[in-house]
Structures are given as C-alpha cells and as structure tokens.
Structure 1
C-alpha cells in the first residue's frame, strides 16, 4: 500500500487568495461566495449574496472560479471547503482561498483529503508553535501535507457517492414538505375540493371516498366564506400550553442535573435537513424539564433573533423521527418557545400552516425591534393568527396523507450516511482500509 506525502501547493495549479475588500452588495447579479454558505463540504446557495458585473470583474482579476475548483475558508470558520459546481458564475468573498487542482490530480480526492482529520489537525495548529490559531496564512496553507495513496479515484468516488445520496435525500425531503404544504393550501386555504363539488365536479387527484368527506357548499360567516361546518380559530385556542425555553448550564451542578439537547432557532433548518451535530448538549433543572420537555406533536418556534433579511418565526414540528434524532430529552432554547397543541393531529395542521406562513413572509407582521434584536410578538400572534379547522373526518384524511410525508422528510437516513462518511474518510485517506469495489446504492 503506497502512502506518500505531497504539499498542497505541489498539487495545485493555482492557490489564489481572495480580494481583501468588501464586495459591493446588490439585490441581484453575480453570486459572491460567503463563508456562511460553506459547511461540511457543501456549498449552500439557498440564500445567495450578489454583486454587480463591475465589482465581479475586479474580484476575478487573479482567478475566475470555475467548475471543479475548491474554495477554502481561511477563518470564521477556518478550514471549511466546497467545490464549485457546474453552471455557477461566482466570485470569492472575503477570507477565502481558491484552489485549482492540477490536471493530473483528482480534484474530488483532494477535496476529501482536505476534510480528513489528518489535514484538519494541521489546519488547527500553527506549524512549529503548538498553539491554536484563528486563521490560516497562505504559506501555511500551501505547506499542508496531503496524503497520496493507491486507489485515489475509487476513494473519491466512494465518498462523493455518499455525498450525492445525502444531497438527493435533502432534495427529496424538501419536496415532501412542499407537497404537504400544497395539500394544506388546496384544502384549507383555497378550498379546492369544496369548490369542485359545488360545480358538480370530482375534486382533482382525490378518490371518491375522501371527496365525500368534504362539504358541498361555502357559507358566509363573520370572517368570510368558509366550508359548511368548518371554523376559523385563533392559534392560541388550539394549544394546551405555550411556554418559553431554557438554556441551562454547560456543566452539571447540584441544581442542573438533567442532560438534554437545547434546540435553538439556528438549529431548526439543520434538523429539517437531517443534521444533529449543531444542537448543543447542556444541563437543566429537573423541574424545568418537566414543563419544557419536547414531545410528539409539539412545535418549537423561534421568537427572538432573526436579521434584516430573515424574520423570526421559524418552526420545527416534533415528530417521532425528530425525537429519535435528538437522542436525549430536549427543550427549546431561551430564544424559542414550546407550543403544545391539543393533539398530534392539530399539531401537524398547525405545523404546515406555520411553514406556509413563514414561506410567505407573514411572520414579519408579528415581530418588533428591541435594542437591535427582532422579537416575535407571541401573545399577539396567538390571538391574531387564525387557522381553518375542518371536520374531524377531513382532518383525519389530511393526517393520513401528510403524516407519512413528514415522517419520511424527518427520517434519519442522512445521519446514518454522515456517520458512514465520517467513519470511512479517515480510514480511507490514511490507507487503513482499502476498497476493492464500492456500492453506495
């Protein structure tokens, strides 16, 4: 088994530092890569930043990022990497370095080698001083030792196949959540099945048994037209409890004895995406855990934080899979609240309503500014935000369709794949194990 060492510089055609200036930010235009878009080897451009053509041309004078290039973050955070995908026109932001592998170097292998513990340990420690550092200087970056071993192409393919499977799972989960939202909007916002029956038609995409559960007319009420027998109810009336979160202590003491996970607003999208590593483990008082412990059907809502571009009000529905993923008893963080619906079914109805509401930007209406921090006006929200509550039969039909979608969207497959990737990565890069064939299907 061959195991050699090469410097990063010797493997790259280009090692180019970013422009040391702030881009001119625009609402649209050409993408500027930011360190916040790069995490765990993934380039997330779901919320991109932009600059104009003029500033873009200034920022690519030394190198124009192209497909297969590797972007390395020098600080804040340090040592994260991603690859430039096909069809993305972009430029570097700040605190980044562009790496272009030589033509005879497998760029995917280099990408994974940079994420291995062997290389990450070099990044974390300043060579020759034994002290931790907060940034990586270009000479240190160029001098990083990269292992060269047999079967680099196969190793790169194996790890990249796992990453592709995780990306596909994430996309599938997003599609499932969108499908649940589409059903909710059709049934409980646009009243499509009721309107179809009023026109003597079969509701589109619905079997006769389910269609028979829906009313055949809309009636005038004080709040507008509603399907016959349905109600428009304030969110607060559908909850048994709404209670603030907790933060606890980093270490246990006489009072803080219960080990828990604390779900923060920043963890909500990551938990939706199948991650858990960001959710902190802390210690709380037993009496507080009794009233704040998250249970099946609960909803965590973010009530403080946000930014000028991101309102408060992100939510997480607590399904069985989410509870299994969290592994420990869990509470919402101090800047979140626990909503306990009157039932699991009402909880799922509210959860999809909240997702649609946030997606439409409606949570902006329920927040105010205090000392630079956005706060969600929970009391006002519970009184002012209304939800259509159908008959028990229609609600049961909705749960029957949507609950499996939510369970699948919250599945733990990506966590298992991440564990497999993280187990294989150091062993493959070090040559501890060899691959004769790879199957990641």
Structure 2
C-alpha cells in the first residue's frame, strides 16, 4: 500500500461552466443529480442537440472508465462512466481519467465513497455564501492510498459484484412496480373494463358480450386467444370471468367527473387515520441517533432512496425524544406521503417507525375497502398540482389539504380482487428490497476493511 497524490495517477478535467440549450432528444447532458453513489442514474436526464455537442465536449469527451464527481453542492457524490453513452459534462461536475496501469477506475470510485475519504472531503470543503465546493486546483494534490493494480481490481471485483446484484434487484422491482401501475391505470384511472362493457351494451350487445369484452381488456387477449385460454386453463379462465363480472356496466357523473357506477370519491381522512411527523430541535443533538437500538426516523431523503417500501433510515430518534416531543409512532404497513418541499414521494413502512413533519402517515382504518397497495399506487399517480393554486405546490400543501384529498374508492369486491393480484408483486418487491438492504450492509462493512488491507485479497484470482 502506498500514498500517492491523485494528480500523479490520473488526469483531471473540468466541465463547462454553463448550460446548453435543452432538446427533447440527442446526446445526454449530465447534471450532478445523475451521480448516485458510484453509478449514473439516467432515469431522468436532459439532452442537447447534435449541433451543440462538439462545443460542449471541446474540453473533454467522457468515455468508459472515467470517474465523474461533483465539486459543488453535492460534495461527495461520484459515478463511474459507463460504456456506450454519448454525453457531455454538466455544470459543477469534473472528470478524472485514471492512468490504467496505476489506478483502477472502479477502485477509485469505491475509495471516493469510503467513510475516510468522505470525511477528508468534508474537511477540505470550502463553505461559500451560496454553495459549498472543493477546489479543483487543489484536488490533484489530495492523497490516496493504493495497493498494486491487481489488488485494486480484486477489491473492485468483490464490491462490484455486490453492487451488480443490488442494481439487478432494483431493475426487477422497477419492472414489477411498472406492471402494478399499468394495471392500476387501466382499472382505476382509464376505467377500461367498464368502458368496454358500456360500449358493447350501448351498441345493442348482450350482457355476455359485454362481459367477454371486459375479459379481453383485463387479460390482454383477443377472442381467439381467450377461447384457447378457456380450453387449456379452465380454472384461470373462470377466475378471469369472475373478475370481469365485478366491474359495473357504465360510467356515471360525479363531482369529479365520470366514475364507474357504485364507486365514489371519499376524503382521505374518512378512509385512514392521518398523522404528521415531527422533528426535535436540531440544535439539541442528544435527541438524534444512528444507534440501531433507537427508533428509525424517516425523512424525504430516505423516501427518495427507498423503493415501494422504506426499510432503512439515515437517522433515528431516541426513546426519550419521542416521549418528550410527543413524536407520533407510525405502525407497520402504513403509507407515507411527503407533502412539503418535495411533494408526492410515497412509501410503505415495514415496521414501527417515525418521520419528520414533512411526511404524512395514512393508516387505513378497519372500515376502508381499499388496501395499502391500492393507496400506494393511487398516491403515486395523483396529480398534486390539483391541491394548490400557488406557483409553488410545495408551499400550497399542508396537513389540512392532505386530510381533504379525495381518494377514489371502488366497490369492496373489485378492491379485494385487485389486492389479490397485487400481493404477489408487492411481496416480491419487499423480498428484493430486504435482500438489497442486507447486501448494502455487507458492502459497506467490507469497504473499509478491503481498502485498508485488513482483508487480504492479493491471492484472489479474477477473470479479466
């Protein structure tokens, strides 16, 4: 293990100090928000034109293996440049290109994310009037510890394998949630099964023909496929037939527009016990904790980093603080909704926990005919701009607004059938989230031990 200056084993490049004109398609303009704990998050990116691309890559064209990091505002965030991505750097972003025979890109990313280097960055952060920053002039002089290159690659391989599994689980969960949202959209937003029935009946068709039309919509099968389905899987066909019968035959007028007959909009406070979290005084550090024996305290940041379920939180509150400040305890399987600053983040609790005052809790009451999965999908698709008339929805929404939100409540039979179909999807998402929580804990505990040499991997053989 040797100590070297970053500038000795890599080249450093600064990004542009302006923003190009945005386009709907074309090369990707990487903002610092795409940097996500070692990987690029391209779920929401901006583009620039092909004509402007040469100008914005004049300083440097990012290529596979480059290390991207933020030197302003999001200090400590870093990502490895992936293959096949045509992009340019955004503002407040720099690029480090390691010398391949001296420094492994993957190793450096993990080194950058290590607690010791993150603390070093905090110590070197310059606190300005508007933003915090680290000096790019000084950055090449920062020192890091590096073992021989083959050891670096072994360390990166071990940690990267864990991250690959974490990423795979996240992609699978995104697919599962997309499937759930598609069915929710069809049944409870577009009312496709009801419209299919109504259209047949208005055209003079029979009740059976209307029912078959709904079955086609629900199953995604045409008449020929439906006939085959009946012959080859009679039990599943009977279940589909039963589901189609549960939907009303027509849409009727309501105060909020057309809805299926027998369904209604209800105020959120009628179907759920709604509470708001609380934050003890921030200047009194004794109330806050990271001790696993204390109570998890959810923030909007935690909700943004979770999936459908919130399992881990960055901070906890002591039992003493919960009692002193009367912080509301949130039961397991409660729906959380952020309604201040960042509006519309949704997650389901997996155990008793707490939250800050920017998060509302929806604990469905015993009389409610809808389930947590339904409410999760409803709030994920809700138009929060409808809640306020100010220019900033984040300041327009308050606890009273949340309690008065309208929720579409279908008949209990339709709701029960929907929940039955959703349960396997949500159960699978929860299993994968819990596995990721365990994988992340393993990776984070291995990281400092591998980087320090406490765990010796010099004899590990990896395939190139």
Residue of structure 1 in register with 2:315 after alignment = 280
Query: What are the Cα deviations for residues 407-434 of structure 1, in whole angstroms up to 9, with x where unaligned?
Result: 3323311111111111222222222213
Query: Which of 331, 346, 350 is the matching residue for 1:315?
Result: 346
Residue of structure 2 in register with 1:354 after alignment = 379
Contact 2:387 2:401 in 1 (8 A): yes
CA distance in 2, matches of 1:253, 1:81: 32
Query: What are the Cα deviations for residues 277-318 of structure 1, in whole angstroms up to 9, with x where unaligned?
Result: 66433454438657x321133222222224xxxxx2322233
CA distance in 2, matches of 1:174, 1:434: 36
Q: Are 2:161 and 1:161 aligned?
A: yes
Query: Which of 346, 365, 369 is the matching residue for 2:386?
Result: 365
CA distance in 1, matches of 2:209, 2:100: 66
Query: Which of 377, 395, 404 is the matching residue for 1:374?
Result: 395
Contact 1:158 1:438 in 2 (8 A): no
* CA positional deviation for 1:17: 2.0
Residues 30-429 of structure 1 correspond to what in structure 2 (within 5 A)? 30-53=27-50, 56-104=53-101, 105-126=103-124, 134-149=133-148, 150-193=150-193, 195=196, 198-201=209-212, 202-203=215-216, 204-205=218-219, 207-213=237-243, 214-215=245-246, 217-219=248-250, 221-223=252-254, 230-236=262-268, 238-250=270-282, 251=284, 260-272=295-307, 279-282=314-317, 284-286=321-323, 289=326, 292-306=328-342, 312-318=343-349, 322-323=350-351, 329-343=352-366, 345-357=370-382, 362-369=383-390, 373-376=394-397, 379=400, 383=404, 385-392=406-413, 394-410=414-430, 411-429=433-451
Moved more, 367-376 or 242-251: 367-376
CA distance in 2, matches of 1:220, 1:400: 24
State the structure with bigger RCO (CA 8 A, min sep 6), 1 or 2: 1
Residue of structure 2 in register with 1:309 after alignment = none
SS of the residue corresponding to residue 350 of structure 1 reads helix
CA distance in 2, matches of 1:276, 1:348: 16
Q: Any unmatched runs of 5+ in structure 2?
A: 126-131, 198-207, 220-235, 288-292
CA distance in 2, matches of 1:175, 1:430: 38
The structure in which a higher percent of residues are helix is 2
* CA positional deviation for 1:140: 3.5
TM-score normalised per structure 1: 0.79
Query: What are the Cα deviations for residues 67-115 of structure 1, in whole angstroms up to 9, with x where unaligned?
Result: 2211122232323221111222222223322111224343222332333
Moved more, 34-43 or 258-267: 258-267
CA distance in 2, matches of 1:272, 1:304: 19
Aligned CA distance change for structure 1 residues 299 and 287 (closer, same or farther; 3 Å) = farther
CA distance in 1, matches of 2:304, 2:240: 33
Query: What are the Cα deviations for residues 360-405 of structure 1, in whole angstroms up to 9, with x where unaligned?
Result: xx2222134378953226655655634141234x333322221232
Q: Any unmatched runs of 5+ in structure 1?
A: 128-132, 307-311, 324-328
SS of the residue corresponding to residue 357 of structure 2 reads coil
Aligned CA distance change for structure 1 residues 352 and 140 (closer, same or farther; 3 Å) = closer
SS of the residue corresponding to residue 305 of structure 1 reads coil
SS of the residue corresponding to residue 79 of structure 2 reads strand
* CA positional deviation for 1:118: 4.9
Query: What are the Cα deviations for residues 12-40 of structure 1, in whole angstroms up to 9, with x where unaligned?
Result: 2x311223x22135253543322232132
CA distance in 1, matches of 2:277, 2:143: 44
User: How big is the alpha-carbon RMSD for the aligned residues of Structure 1 and Structure 2?
Assistant: 3.5
Contact 2:297 2:313 in 1 (8 A): no
CA distance in 2, matches of 1:100, 1:169: 30
* CA positional deviation for 1:8: 2.2
Contact 1:159 1:421 in 2 (8 A): yes
Aligned CA distance change for structure 1 residues 142 and 15 (closer, same or farther; 3 Å) = farther
Contact 1:25 1:49 in 2 (8 A): no
Moved more, 243-252 or 169-178: 243-252
Moved more, 40-49 or 418-427: 40-49
Q: How many residues align?
A: 408
Contact 2:296 2:313 in 1 (8 A): no
Contact 1:247 1:282 in 2 (8 A): no
CA distance in 2, matches of 1:221, 1:61: 60
